[in-house]
Amino acid sequence: MRRDAAGGVIESVSPRRTLFYRSDAFRTKAIAANVSQIAIVVAARPSFSPELVQRCILAAEDQGIGSLILLNKTDLPETTQARARLDGLVRIGYPCVELSAQCDPSPIRPWLAGHRTLLVGQSGMGKSTLVNALFPEAQADTAAYSEALDSGRHTTTHTRLFRLGDNAGLIDSPGLQEFALQHLDADALAHAFVEFRPYLGLCRFRDCRHEAEPGCRLTEAAEAGDIAPARLTLFRQLRRAQHQAAQRL
């Protein structure tokens, strides 16, 4: 795209390689295309939803997009508790970069090189503060979170790309309050759990739902401690919710 006196002019359309999006039973919401990495911003304060973090990662895995967790506001005393809530994801291989965007954003810079990175997360996690620290000219709106509600306030209203040289960029996006995964069928959902992949297709029954069926390899792996039982529980909850939503249509 190029700019002229009348505004922007689209000169060519690049092929779509990836699409990070969410969907419920009624609609699909595209967030960004052709990203190679999502950076999920969480903070020591206000509290964040570990399930929403996992849902974002699952959507990224389905599209072959890498995931990175940013633990922001590490100057606050609640950092230890926040770090503990991410431990399960770190143990299965998702990197977690810790920083305080207000003090020093430099820990994230090496992770942005060579990537088109999408910032996602709940309101109040400090995405706009991080953008301003990396791009002072951005002048993104920020707001204090509500201590009474333990939640942030929406300040970003649209998605915006900031370029980092020729081959990299950072995309800021509005805060998320929910992230539905209705577009993932049961097989795609199971495959999006990276630690499940060595066991998929090995159950006694080909149509195993990974619930209470005998010979379910995921159940056996959870019982043996090879996968976290909480992750299998989340998979089952998501699968049931999707099935129930489909039945209501």
* Closest among 125, 135, 101, 240 to 177, alpha carbons compared: 125
Asked if 154 and 27 count as a contact pair (C-beta separation under 8 A), the reply is: no
The tally of CA atoms less than 13 A away on the side-chain side of residue 23 is 16
> How many Å separate Cα 30 from the centre of its chain?
13
* Closest among 246, 245, 236 to 190, alpha carbons compared: 236
Return per-residue pLDDT of the chain as tens, 249 residues.
566 666 667 777 778 899 999 998 788 999 999 999 999 999 988 889 999 999 999 999 999 999 999 999 999 999 999 999 999 999 999 999 999 998 999 999 999 999 999 999 998 898 988 988 998 776 555 545 445 444 544 455 578 888 887 788 999 988 888 899 999 999 999 999 999 999 999 999 999 999 999 999 999 999 999 999 999 999 999 999 888 877 765
Contacts of 6 (CB under 8 A, 6+ apart): none
What is the model's pLDDT at position 146? 45
How many helices (H) and strands (E) are present in the chain, helices listed first?
8, 10
Q: What does the alpha-carbon distance between residue 249 and residue 244 come to, in Å, rounded to a whole number?
A: 9
What is the model's pLDDT at position 243? 80
> How many Å separate Cα 196 from the centre of its chain?
19
Query: What are the tokens at 242?
Result: 């999707």
What is the model's pLDDT at position 114? 92
Helix (H, G, I), strand (E, B) or coil at 48: coil
CATH 1.10.40.50 intervals, the chain: 186-248
What is the model's pLDDT at position 149? 43
Fold of 17-172: Rossmann fold (3.40.50)
What is the model's pLDDT at position 154? 47
> CA 215, 210, 180 angle in degrees (round to 5)?
170
What is the model's pLDDT at position 97? 97
Beta bridge partners of 160: 172
Architecture (CATH level 2) of domain 186-248: Orthogonal Bundle (1.10)
- For residue 227, give Cα distances in angstroms to 170, 199, 211, 220: 33, 10, 15, 9
Please state the length of the chain: 249
Q: What does the alpha-carbon distance between residue 8 and residue 3 come to, in Å, rounded to a whole number?
A: 4
- Alpha helices in the chain, H assignment, sequence order: 50-62, 79-85, 87-91, 109-112, 127-134, 186-192, 217-223, 229-248
**Angle between helix 50-62 and 229-248 (nearest 10):** 70
Q: Which residue, chain included where needed, has tokens 């299965």?
A: 92
What is the model's pLDDT at position 15? 82
CATH 3.40.50.300 intervals, the chain: 17-172
Model's pTM, two decimal places? 0.87
Asked if 25 and 248 count as a contact pair (C-beta separation under 8 A), the reply is: yes
